[in-house]
Amino acid sequence: MIKTDILIIGAGPTGLFTVFEAGLLKLKTHLIDALPQPGGQCSEIYPKKPIYDIPAFPEILAGDLVKNLMEQIRPFEPGFTLGERAETLEKLDDGTFIVTTNKGTQHHAPVIAIAGGLGSFEPRKPPIANIAKFEDKGVSYFIKDPEVYRNKRVVISGGGDSALDWAIYLADIASEVALVHRRAEFRGALDSVERVSELAKLGKIEMITNAEVVGLTGEDILEKVVIRHKDQARGEEFKEVDDFIPLFGLSPKLGPIGSWGLEIEKNAIKVDNSYDYQTNIPGVYAIGDVNTYKGKLKLILSGFHEAAIMCQSAYQRIYPDKKYVLKYTTVGGVEGFDGTKKEAKREVVQSIGV
C-alpha cells in the first residue's frame, strides 16, 4: 500500500503545483492520474497550444508549462500512479482514507486533494461496431511506449495536435505511417501541420484526407482497416496494418468520484471557498476546474491559488498541535526532500576598523 501525507487525484497543472506547495510545508505527496503521463489536458490534448494568462509568462506552450512544473516539483520527490483511475474512497475510523484504483492499487493518506481538472478522461472512440474486439490487439487510444511501433505499419486517425505530433514522431520509428483525417484542413499547430506536409512529400507519412476509418477486420488481431473516402469515385479501400491509433481527444467525466458521497453541482464538486476548498467530507478537498463555488473562474492560475490555500489547511489537519509560520521563499529558500536547497545569495558586509 502506498502511504503519503496528501494524495492528489489528478496530475494536471493544479495537481502538480500542489506538490510544490505541500513540499514547502514538508508534506509528502503522491498523485493518481488515469492518463499515462503527467500534465492532464496540457500534455494529452494541446501540448503545443500557447497559454497567455500564466503570471510572468506572456506566452507559454502548454507542454512547456508542464515541463516547468515537473522541474519545479522534482526536489520534493512526488510519487505517481499513472494509467490508473481512482475508483473507490474509504474513510477509516481514525479519519484517514484509502483510495483504490481500477487496477487495485491502494493508497493511504490523511488528506485527499481532488485536482482532476474536468474529471477523469476517457478516449473518444470512433463509431466502429467491432472496435472493442481489437482493443489491445492492434487498436490503442494512447501511445505509452513509441518503441512498440518500431517497424510496424501504423494508421493514425485524427486532425488535432496529438494526431499530428505522433504521426511526426512515429515517422522515424514505424515502417509505414498513414494519417487519416475526415477534412482537408487540420486543426493543430501550424508548425506541426507544415512538418507533416514535408514528411508526406518525402514519402515518410501517407496523408489521407477527406476520409474516415469506418471498419476493422482480422481474426484474432487487427489485420486491415477500412477507409471510406468522401470522393465516391474512390469509395472504400482496405489497408493492411499492424496498429490503428484513433486520436480524437478525451472526454472528461467525474467518473467514479461522482459516487463518493460528495456534493455535486452541475458535474462539479461543490466546495467552501471562503476558507480552504474543502468538500462536504472533512479531509477531502477539491481544487482546480473540478470544483465549483460562487464566483468560480476555471483558470489554471485560479487552481494554483486554490492549491496554496488548501495545503495550509491540510497541514493543520495533519498536525493540529503545530502552528505553521508562513515563510517567503525569497527568505527561507526552497529545501527539497532530495537534499537540495535553493536560496538567494546573502551579502556579507564586514566592518573595517579605522
DSSP output for 149-184 = GTT-EEEEE-SSHHHHHHHHHHTTTSSEEEEEESSS
Q: Does the annotation place 14 within a ligand binding site?
A: yes
Tell me: is residue 330 an annotated ligand-binding position: yes
**CA distance linking residue 101 with residue 148, whole number of Å:** 26
- Tell me: is residue 86 an annotated ligand-binding position: yes
Containing 194, the helix (H) or strand (E) segment is: helix 190-201
**244 assigned to a ligand binding site:** no
Contact 341, 335 (CB under 8 A): yes
Annotated binding-site residue? 101:
no
Q: Is 96 annotated in some ligand binding site?
A: no
CB neighbours of 233 closer than 8 A, spacing ≥ 6?
none
Q: 41 among the known binding-site residues?
A: yes
DSSP state of 139: B
**Among 212, 32, 183, which Cα is nearest to 116's?**
32
Please check whether residue 240 is in contact with residue 223, taking contact to mean a CB–CB distance below 8 angstroms.
yes
Pair 203, 182: CB distance under 8 Å:
no
Would the annotation count 29 as a binding residue? no
β-bridge partners, 178: 155, 206
- Residue ranges of the annotated binding site are 14, 33, 41, 46, 86, 121, 289, 330
- Residue ranges of the annotated binding site for FAD are 14, 33, 41, 46, 86, 121, 289, 330
